[in-house]
Amino acid sequence: MSGDWTTPAHGPLSLVFIEVDSDQDGAADYEIRAEARSKQGPFRDVLSSATYAKGNEQRLNRLPLNLVTPDIAKTHPFNNSVLVFTALLSDLGLTEDNPLLSYFASTEDPVNLIAGEQTAWATFDAKKPLIDTTKHGQDGLPLFVGPGPVKVDVSAEGRAGQGPLDLLLLHHTNVAGSRFEVVSLTPRRPETWRSPRARARASARGRARSSRSW
C-alpha cells in the first residue's frame, strides 16, 4: 500500500484484502482479510488473516497475520504499509488436481468507504512454484528474521526459463519507502547485486530493484 496505516484492521474493516479466483472463471470466490481477533469488538490488537467464501460472513479459517504470532517474531503489522496474508489451499477450494489460483490485492478507504488501490490479477500454480521461499525460512515459512542471507530455491522449470524471476522481498521493519524490493533472479549471468548505496537510491524513489544470478 502506498501510504501507512495505523492498523490494517480498522475496526471490522480490512484496509487491505486479497480476492482469490479458484476456478479460473474470472470472478473471485474467496476473500482474505486482516481481522482483529475479536471480530465484533472491542477490537483487540491481535490480528489474523481470515478467509471467507465470497458473499458469506461465516469465516472459514484464520491464521496469524504476517505469518507468525508476536511471541515468535515481531512482525510489525501496525504503523506499516506491507502485509503478508496466510490462507490454506484447502480453504481456497484448491486440491492436488486443481492447484491453480488467480488473485489480486485491493485496499479500501476507511473514511469514505470506497475502493482504493488494486493490483492486476496474478496467477499462481501452487503445485509448481518457480521459487520456493519456504524451504530455508523459519519453521518452513517464507520468513527470515535477523541477520543472515535470504535463501530461496529455484525449481528446474524456473532455471530453464528464459527471463529473470522476480522475487518480492518485504522488509517489515524498514522505514517508509524502503519496505519492499523486487529482487530479479537471473540465470547464467555474472553477479549483478547493486551496491547498498544504489539500492538506497532506488528505495528513495519508492521502488527498489536488485538482481542476483545463480
Closest to Ca ion by CB, 22 vs 86, is 22
**CB burial string 34-73: b at 16+ within 10 A, e below:** bbbeebeeebeeebbbbbbbeeeeeebbbbbbbbbeeeeb
Pick from 14, 19, 20, 21 the residue near Ca ion by CB under 5 A: 21
CA-based nearest residue to 45, from 74, 7, 81: 7
Q: According to CB under 5 A, which one of 25, 71, 97, 191 is a site residue for Ca ion?
A: 25
Q: How far is CA 115 from the centre of its chain?
A: 19
Q: Is 27 in the site for Ca ion (CB under 5 A)?
A: yes
Rounded-to-integer distance, Cα 214 and Cα 105, Å: 30
The one segment of 19-27, 59-67, 173-181, 184-192 that binds Ca ion by CB under 5 A: 19-27
Binding part of the chain for Ca ion, among 22-30, 63-71, 159-167, 204-212 by CB under 5 A, reads 22-30
At 37, is the secondary structure helix, strand, or coil?
coil
Helix/strand/coil for 14:
strand
Among 193, 127, 130, 190, residue whose Cα is nearest residue 161: 130
Interface segment toward Ca ion; rule CB under 5 A; list 20-28, 34-42, 65-73, 108-116: 20-28
Q: Is 23 in the site for Ca ion (CB under 5 A)?
A: yes
- What is the nearest approach in angstroms of Ca ion to the Cβ of residue 130? 23
For 170, counting Cβ atoms within 10 Å of its Cβ (0-12 exposed, 13-18 middle, 19+ buried), the class is middle
Site for Ca ion (CB under 5 A): which residue of 1, 7, 13, 29? 29
Site for Ca ion contains 150 (CB under 5 A): no
Closer to Ca ion by CB, 34 or 94: give it. Answer: 94
**Shortest reach from residue 57's CB to Ca ion, in Å:** 19
Closest to Ca ion by CB, 54 or 201:
54
Binding site for Ca ion (CB under 5 A): 21, 23, 25, 27, 29
